Structure 1
Amino acid sequence: MHYHNPVISGFHPDPSVCRVGEDYYLVTSSFEYFPGVPLFHSKDLVHWEQIGHVLTREGQLDLSRAGSSGGIYAPTIRYRNGLFYMTTTNVSGGGNFYVCADDPRGEWSDPIFVDQPGIDPDLFFDEDGSVYYTTSHDAKGQGAYQSRIDIRTGKRLSGVSLLWQGTGGQYPEAPHLYRIGDWYYLMLSEGGTEYGHMVTVARSARPDGPFVACPHNPILTHRSRLKPIHATGHADLVQGPDGSWWAVFLGIRPAGYPARHHLGRETFLAPVTWTEEGWPVIGDDGTIGETMPAGNLPLRPKTEGTTTEGFDRAALAPCWNFLRSPDPRNWSLTAKPGCLTLFGSEATLNDTGVAAFVGRRQQHFSFRASARLTFAPERDGEEAGLVVYMNERFHYEIAVARQAGARKLLFRRRLGTLWKVEHEMPWPADSIVLSVHADTNAYRFGFAENEDRAPVRFGQGECSMLATEVAGGFTGVFIAMYATGSGTRSVTPAYFDWLGYETETRP
């Protein structure tokens, strides 16, 4: 039996995993998107269902000052004595903190902040009851820094000391500490979360060191490899019920030459074996493939295909996100039953403010997305539509807008400091079906009078122009519904009856 990588496709970086009985729980970074820290559940480590988010309340997550690729950085999830713990960093407000819950599908606690600098925090519960808090990138230098904390209050019970600086790669980060047998293992990611990414490991007889590096580091890397997967790193270990060991980690799947990736950093899985000397080996001597042997994993069937959100439930499904802390004035599921209603805010897609924006991650190179929009703008500047969005400086949109007293359909491209309305035409009707069809190379935008008609092509944009190598940052592309008043609040609501996302190939 084999499984396919990535196991969670699209923008789901910095994975961390824990097992409780036969259940696995996994979290990933979320940066400037709300709710924060996507939460997944699996029975086999391969097929994951998003069951919600960890940070769902503004009291837990303030993104009001988060710029693009700000906000929530790498989380760690752990389980101890009936409680789940998730620790992370809000680089845009508050620093390092953790929350807890007895039921991961329910509400998590308010944040408990830890007075320790750095990012990528890790929680380690030792057998004697001590709790160690480890971060990376201390202001004094680079490496893994550690203190002991009171898990009830978050207060430090010791000073912050340097554990290990890694093997010399830049940006040693994402520390995870484990006790396996007689050894404490400290795992780091080095080289930066780009094409030089790698995972290294050291061990000690004590949780606070000194740590000795593995003689065959790095234990995972695809640097300088001719592989379809690159930037492998930021790994976390988990042991299955049968005693087997596995690693989850991030990677990217670039396309073209020079290589560029636009889906973001994704979550991958590989088996872990151990040398006679007791050192971990991830995958095939530190490399992995798109197809991997499943070993004894109890693989379960996976469903793919069309997903249509009709907005007829009391809450948005877990796949949907807001851009930064949501303004309740900007959206509603009850203003018009069976629709998502967006009320355009002052912010446009070119701003770092709180836009009226509800989107989902692009998770496949090839897909079709379409949405029915009902919108009759009354004021100049009012606009609503579909956007393919990387950040405020790189995006494509097809929209209905009012300009100079006339209602128009337009297609716009924003690429850095360059922007252009590529196509526009009068649009007198109050409703329209907007669509985007993607393959590895291009997004093709279209429109139709209703869902029974084939879309009319209205513009296209290159996928590579929204790639991290061009647009920068740590995120991936979103497909989103949006509305704006272009500097003032819109008086006209935009009603989205549904949005469909149809995949054409495996991820």
Structure 2
Amino acid sequence: MHLYQNPVISGFHPDPSVCRAGDDYYLVCSSFEYFPGLPLYHSRDLVHWEHIGNVLDRPDQLPLPLPGAKASGGCYAPTIRHHDGRFWVVNTNIDGGGNFVVTAERPEGPWSDPVWLDLTGIDPDLAWEEDGTCWCAFSGPAGGINLARIDPERGRVLEGPFATWSGSGLKFPEAPHLYRIGDWWYLLIAEGGTERGHSVSVARSRSPRGPWEGAPANPLLSHSGTARAIQNTGHADLVRAPDGSWWMVLLGVRPRGFTPDVHVLGRETFLTPVEWDEDGWPVVAPVPETHPAPARAWHPVPAPAARDDFDTPALAPHWISPFARPAHSWSLTERPGSLLLHATGPTLDTPGYTFVGRRQQHHDCRAGTLLDAGTGTGGLCVRLDEAHHYELEAGDGEVRVRARIGPLHRTLARRPVPAGPVRLTVTVRTTRLVPASPHLTDGGTTGPDTLAFWLGDPDAPDARPLAELDGRYLSTEVACGFTGRVIGMYATRGSVAFDWFEYVPAPHGEDHRLG
């Protein structure tokens, strides 16, 4: 018997939606302000997921840079479905355009240009009747779950929208998914908000038009008020395996640190089994940290390479940039074997700077690069949003550690370096907490983790960090919003060449594998 560990996709992968096509599963997540948008994963066993692309990988699929773009704006909760030989994704661009549908013959793409829906709201879903009638459930602008009959090929609304069922009375009923299972239509929703009160509830009806009956045991799932390591459980989607078993993917977080604990990796993707009671209602136990895997062949996927030498013709799909990635801002060909970033904005505090990063997926990890700043300025950045980030920066003959926490900016360390390539490293390690006491004032003992910034190789005998910073200030509970940490390379002046980038989970940390 194989066991799997949650989360099945670690790091900033919120609002998962899943579908099955034959023996294959496909999953998409929210991407918010980052481009390319809507990461797409493939699996054969619901446990091992390979990042095979991004649904929105062309600037012409969305207005980019997004009008009025801001942190935690952009592309909200998508739904993926396989119907009539095609893959369908419906999504909301909260910063411009509203709800849209894209389709593809193959999940790897190419995905179509958007077909915009004349519906106002967020978190859209698609479901079909046997005669081809298509329903779109979504969270309406006035709150509550709405339903409309649509033509998804043309974006036309054919009936509705009208109100359906809006949960058990908790706040923010949203994230609806509509399913036809046997003789019933089931409506699965999230409520309680996406924080500690997050939960999953369900209702059913004989017709999509209602009336709807809520399950007697609602909420179906919530970790609110518990001491479980996994919190904020909600925003779920259901899938049936070939052996007839049912499974749920959902988001959750893993808080750390002294009270009130915080999460830094963002909302992650978890997997949990679903049973059905004698009255036809789904039953879900608390989300396990470890659980027997689905009863089918075990299909591990190759782990992403720890080091990217930038010797391929295109960037790997896990590389993302906030707001946009204009073609003139980066190149893999101008300096073969390097990623060349051209600054398009003055500072990290504006949406115009050039940044290419990847999601932090482990609580204990190391990221490093070898860069040549030349006459430019750039380096390594750990980013939560444009107002909360730490940098290890090279330029003007020195390396420096900088921090921004809201309106506060500070340079914490400087060291002169000779001209030419320099190696920069950031290490992240879980903080060992000390017992609570009236004298508990050291941030290094209370935060979720500690970030250390190094010039050179931390494994060298004489290595010392330039600075160490408390990770709590790069947490969602401090910065607010819906995203998680992203670690990557940036340029704020001139052009900066990155020879390689390496991301390595700590060998003895609790997170022992990439998502």
- One fold, TM greater than 0.5? yes
In the alignment, the residues of structure 2 paired with residue 85 and residue 449 of structure 1 have an alpha-carbon distance, to the nearest angstrom, of 46
For the 8 Å contact 2:101–2:152, the answer to whether it is kept is no
Matched, 1:420 2:417: no
Where does residue 445 of structure 2 map in the other structure?
Answer: none
In the alignment, the residues of structure 2 paired with residue 7 and residue 428 of structure 1 have an alpha-carbon distance, to the nearest angstrom, of 44
**In percent, how many aligned pairs have the same letter?**
48
Where does residue 279 of structure 1 map in the other structure?
Answer: 281
Q: Report the CA distance shift for 1:36/1:458 in structure 2 as closer, same or farther (over 3 A).
A: same
For the 8 Å contact 2:458–2:464, the answer to whether it is kept is no
Q: 1:72-121: CA deviations, max 9, x gaps?
A: 00000001111000010000110000100001112100000101111000
Matched, 1:341 2:349: no
Where does residue 261 of structure 2 map in the other structure?
Answer: 259
Aligned-partner SS, 1:476: coil
In the alignment, the residues of structure 2 paired with residue 82 and residue 428 of structure 1 have an alpha-carbon distance, to the nearest angstrom, of 59
RMSD, matched Cα:
1.6
Matched, 1:67 2:70: yes
Where does residue 393 of structure 1 map in the other structure?
Answer: 387
Moved more, 222-231 or 317-326: 317-326
Q: Report the CA distance shift for 1:62/1:454 in structure 2 as closer, same or farther (over 3 A).
A: farther
Where does residue 444 of structure 1 map in the other structure?
Answer: 452
Q: Report the CA distance shift for 1:433/1:450 in structure 2 as closer, same or farther (over 3 A).
A: farther
Where does residue 271 of structure 2 map in the other structure?
Answer: 269
Matched, 1:459 2:467: yes
Where does residue 136 of structure 2 map in the other structure?
Answer: 133
Where does residue 93 of structure 1 map in the other structure?
Answer: 96
Q: Please list every run of at least 4 consecutive aligned residues from structure 1 whose deviation after the TM superposition is greater than 6 angstroms.
A: 449-454
Moved more, 168-177 or 420-429: 420-429
For the 8 Å contact 2:425–2:457, the answer to whether it is kept is no
The code of the aligned residue for 1:459 comes to A
For the 8 Å contact 2:403–2:410, the answer to whether it is kept is yes
In the alignment, the residues of structure 1 paired with residue 357 and residue 456 of structure 2 have an alpha-carbon distance, to the nearest angstrom, of 21
For the 8 Å contact 2:200–2:222, the answer to whether it is kept is yes
Moved more, 360-369 or 407-416: 407-416
Aligned residues: 487
In the alignment, the residues of structure 2 paired with residue 472 and residue 399 of structure 1 have an alpha-carbon distance, to the nearest angstrom, of 25
Q: 1:363-421: CA deviations, max 9, x gaps?
A: 000111110001122xxxx421000010111110001123xxxx221101111111210
Where does residue 373 of structure 1 map in the other structure?
Answer: 371
Where does residue 112 of structure 2 map in the other structure?
Answer: 109
For the 8 Å contact 2:45–2:294, the answer to whether it is kept is no
For the 8 Å contact 1:203–1:211, the answer to whether it is kept is yes
Where does residue 468 of structure 1 map in the other structure?
Answer: 476
Aligned-partner SS, 1:314: coil
- Matches for 1:1-80 after TM superposition, within 5 Å: 1-64=2-65, 65=67, 66-80=69-83
Give the drift of 1:61.
Answer: 2.0
Aligned-partner SS, 2:472: helix
In the alignment, the residues of structure 2 paired with residue 217 and residue 63 of structure 1 have an alpha-carbon distance, to the nearest angstrom, of 41
Aligned-partner SS, 2:478: helix
In the alignment, the residues of structure 1 paired with residue 462 and residue 55 of structure 2 have an alpha-carbon distance, to the nearest angstrom, of 40
For the 8 Å contact 2:383–2:487, the answer to whether it is kept is yes
In the alignment, the residues of structure 1 paired with residue 211 and residue 463 of structure 2 have an alpha-carbon distance, to the nearest angstrom, of 64
For the 8 Å contact 2:392–2:401, the answer to whether it is kept is yes
Matched, 1:307 2:301: no
Where does residue 237 of structure 1 map in the other structure?
Answer: 238
Aligned-partner SS, 1:470: helix
In the alignment, the residues of structure 2 paired with residue 325 and residue 397 of structure 1 have an alpha-carbon distance, to the nearest angstrom, of 20
The code of the aligned residue for 1:422 comes to L
In the alignment, the residues of structure 2 paired with residue 116 and residue 495 of structure 1 have an alpha-carbon distance, to the nearest angstrom, of 45
In the alignment, the residues of structure 2 paired with residue 305 and residue 447 of structure 1 have an alpha-carbon distance, to the nearest angstrom, of 26
In the alignment, the residues of structure 1 paired with residue 91 and residue 462 of structure 2 have an alpha-carbon distance, to the nearest angstrom, of 46
- Matches for 1:283-298 after TM superposition, within 5 Å: 284=285, 287-298=286-297
Aligned-partner SS, 1:59: helix
Give the drift of 1:207.
Answer: 1.2
Aligned-partner SS, 1:38: strand
Q: What residue ranges of structure 2 are gaps of 5+ in the alignment?
A: 431-448
Where does residue 324 of structure 1 map in the other structure?
Answer: 323
Give the drift of 1:425.
Answer: 2.2
Q: 1:277-324: CA deviations, max 9, x gaps?
A: 000012x2xx11211122414323355586100100010011101111
Moved more, 237-246 or 426-435: 426-435
In the alignment, the residues of structure 2 paired with residue 449 and residue 497 of structure 1 have an alpha-carbon distance, to the nearest angstrom, of 15
For the 8 Å contact 1:63–1:93, the answer to whether it is kept is no
Q: 1:3-34: CA deviations, max 9, x gaps?
A: 10000000000000000010000000000000
Q: 1:120-161: CA deviations, max 9, x gaps?
A: 00001111210001110x23x211101111122110111210
Give the drift of 1:452.
Answer: 8.0
Aligned-partner SS, 1:149: strand
In the alignment, the residues of structure 1 paired with residue 203 and residue 428 of structure 2 have an alpha-carbon distance, to the nearest angstrom, of 43
Give the drift of 1:328.
Answer: 1.7
In the alignment, the residues of structure 1 paired with residue 223 and residue 337 of structure 2 have an alpha-carbon distance, to the nearest angstrom, of 47
The code of the aligned residue for 1:391 comes to D
What's the TM-score once normalised by structure 1's chain length? 0.94
- Matches for 1:135-214 after TM superposition, within 5 Å: 135-136=138-139, 138-139=140-141, 141-214=142-215
Q: Report the CA distance shift for 1:63/1:196 in structure 2 as closer, same or farther (over 3 A).
A: farther
Give the drift of 1:453.
Answer: 8.4
Moved more, 300-309 or 469-478: 300-309
Give the drift of 1:422.
Answer: 0.2
In the alignment, the residues of structure 1 paired with residue 23 and residue 304 of structure 2 have an alpha-carbon distance, to the nearest angstrom, of 27
Q: Match for 2:420 among 430, 437, 444?
A: 430
For the 8 Å contact 1:63–1:71, the answer to whether it is kept is no
Aligned-partner SS, 1:261: coil
